[in-house]
Amino acid sequence: MNGGSTDFDAEGDDVLATLGLSEQDKAAIADFRRDVVEPSQTSLVLVDFWAEWCGPCKQLSPVIEKIAAEYADKGVRLVKINVDENRFIAGQFRVQSIPTVYAIFQGQPVADLTSARTEGQYRQMLDQILAQLPIESEASRQAEDLAPLIAMGEDVLASGDAERALGIFGQISDMAPDNAEVIGGKLRALVALGRLDEADGLLADLPEAVAKEPAVERGRAAIALARSATPGVDTAPLEARVAANPQDYAALFDLSAARMAQGDRDGAADALLAIIAGERDWEEGKARNQLLQLFEVVGLEDPWVSNQRRRLSAILFS
């Protein structure tokens, strides 16, 4: 950032007292410490420099206020500083045009957000900043509290007890209704129970931002995979077709779907990899897309997925 010194911490009191500052400037510094520096020790403070006569400032105001409210539980605060009333503070930041917006953490500027104008741009910037800083927030505290409960639900689901897992995720969702990991767990539990329409209904009611979260996308993939699977199919005729003609990719694909319905993910992956090895672009990459969807449902961090990815890479780059 191009700002100048912003050392307004308490240890600078004696220095500032020797600078011959006016009472107004001293009051401004005290206000800045109270409103920005102190809260920034644990929160991310957005400082919006503005003025009454500034048209762009008035256009930006509702946008940044909405974003600050939206991110409040993530530890974000908004402080608006009128440059006409706080010339000394604006001078310390070398504000040359307005609106100017800085993000402050632990008393220091960590990002210049002045280029942002839309809600989407602010969200993108804030998400990147928050991912890198140890911000204390209600959301982070809740995440710590929920983590062992979510892990319990995942363990129960992995063990095959989908009914109990659904109950666990349901109880957690009472505490955190918009938590993407909880919603994703509920979706996958519903899929395991064969309640696909109910899973579709849950998915349809989600806010757009939550629906795009990776954990929810994993649930969406589970629904799609379940709908493509064919339960109750006798695999013997399909296996006979493949034995007679290993290039019968339609039979291989149907065989993979039947094996998925039986819970045989190894067999399903084998059939899909056989298609990719024979004709990787078969029906516009249908087998590869199905395999990637299976990876997403199982979980990208799962050791089984890592092993299958190595097999896929060996085929693609051989």
Instruction: Give, in order, the Cα–Cα distances in Å from 281 to each of 126, 225, 286, 308.
Output: 40, 20, 7, 18
Length of the chain in residues, anyone?
A: 318
Q: Which two tokens stand for residue 258?
A: 């039947």
* 3-state per-residue secondary structure call for 2-71: CCCCCCCCHHHHHHHHCCCCCHHHHHHHHHHHHHHHCHHHCCEEEEEEECCCCHHHHHHHHHHHHHHHHC
Residue 54 among the catalytic residues:
yes
Q: Report whether 126 contacts 76 (CB < 8 A).
A: yes
CA-CA distance, 108 to 219, in Å (whole number)?
Answer: 40
Angstrom CA distances, 288 to 230, 253, 270, stand at 18, 11, 12
- Cβ–Cβ < 8 Å for 164, 72: no
Distance in angstroms (rounded) separating the CA atoms of residues 282 and 286? 6
Any catalytic annotation for residue 26? no
SS3 270: helix
- Catalytic position from the list 36, 46, 57, 225: 57
Cα 58 to Cα 71: distance, rounded to the nearest angstrom: 21
Task: Give residues with Cβ within 8 angstroms of 104, minimum separation 6.
Answer: 36, 37, 40, 44, 45, 46, 47, 110
Q: Between the CA of residue 8 and those of 28, 31, 92, 102, 277, what are the distances in Å?
A: 11, 10, 10, 15, 64
Active-site residue, selected from the candidate residues 36, 54, 126, 271 = 54
Q: Which residues are catalytic?
A: 54, 57
